[in-house]
Amino acid sequence: MKKIILPTDFSENAYNAIRYAVQLFNDVQTTFYLLHTYTPAIYQTEYVLQSPGQIGLGDSYQESSQSRLEELKTKLEEEFDDPAHIFIPHSALNFLVDEVIQTVKNEKADLVIMGTQGATGAKELLLGTQTVHVIKKATCPVIAVPSGHEYENPTKILFPTDYEIDYQKEQLQQLLNIAISHSGDIEIIHVSSGFDLTQNQLKNKQKLKDVLNGIAHLFHDLPSQEIITAINGFQVKKRTNLLVMVQNRHTFLERLFIEPTIKKIGFHITFPFMVIPHLDK
Q: Which amino acid is at 63?
A: E
Closest CA to 103 of 24, 189, 36: 36
Q: Quick check: 97 and 35 in contact, CB under 8 A?
A: no
Ordered by start, the domain boundaries in the chain are: 2-145, 156-276
In this structure, which topology does domain 2-145 adopt according to CATH?
Rossmann fold (3.40.50)
Domains 2-145 and 156-276 belong to one CATH topology:
yes
**Cα–Cα distance measured from residue 101 to residue 127, given in angstroms and rounded to the nearest whole number:** 18
CATH number for region 156-276: 3.40.50.620
HSE of 148 in the Cβ direction (CA atoms, 13 Å)? 4
b/e per residue 243-252 (b: at least 16 CB within 10 A) = bbbbbbeebb
**Cα–Cα distance measured from residue 202 to residue 180, given in angstroms and rounded to the nearest whole number:** 26
**Cα–Cα distance measured from residue 264 to residue 252, given in angstroms and rounded to the nearest whole number:** 15
Per-residue pLDDT for the chain (281 aa), expressed as one digit of tens each? 999 999 999 999 999 999 999 999 999 999 999 999 987 655 555 444 444 444 555 578 889 999 999 999 999 999 999 999 999 999 999 999 999 999 999 999 999 999 986 544 444 345 667 888 888 889 999 999 988 889 999 999 999 998 988 999 999 999 999 999 999 999 999 988 878 899 999 999 999 999 999 999 999 999 988 787 888 888 888 889 999 988 875 555 555 555 544 444 444 567 898 999 887 64
Q: Quick check: 32 and 85 in contact, CB under 8 A?
A: yes
pTM strictly above 0.85? yes
